[in-house]
Amino acid sequence: MPDKELLHMVFGGRVKDPRGLEFEDLGAVEFVGMYANYKEAEQAWRAASQAHVDDAMRKYVVVHLHRLIDPEQEEE
């Protein structure tokens, strides 16, 4: 039986401060993708982050959308 779909979104871009998550230009934020589980999202996040490893002002994040849609739903 396939795993239950738990939506995750990966996006990122240049931030004003590498310790924070305030983007320099929201219009330039890169949408990496939507993923059915955390493992796939983490792989995409790692690939995007690694592609920009020399740019300390660029940050990528994974958002657990399933938690926003259904806050009582748990990770599996």
Average pLDDT for residues 7-32, to the nearest whole number?
96
The structure's pTM equals 0.84
Tell me: pLDDT of 14 over 60: yes
The pLDDT value recorded for residue 1 is: 43
The pLDDT value recorded for residue 69 is: 82
Cβ atoms of 13 and 23 within 8 Å: the answer is: yes
Cβ atoms of 50 and 70 within 8 Å: the answer is: no
3-state SS, residue 72: coil
Greater confidence, 2 or 70? Answer: 70
Q: Please tell me the distance from the alpha carbon of residue 18 to that of residue 41, in angstroms, as a whole number.
A: 21
Tell me: pLDDT of 62 over 60: yes
Domains of the chain: 8-69 (3.30.70.2400)
Which CA distances in Å does 57 have to 48, 54, 69, 71, 74?
13, 9, 30, 31, 32
The pLDDT value recorded for residue 15 is: 97
The tokens for 21 are 């998550």
In the chain, pLDDT over 70 holds for what percent of residues? 91
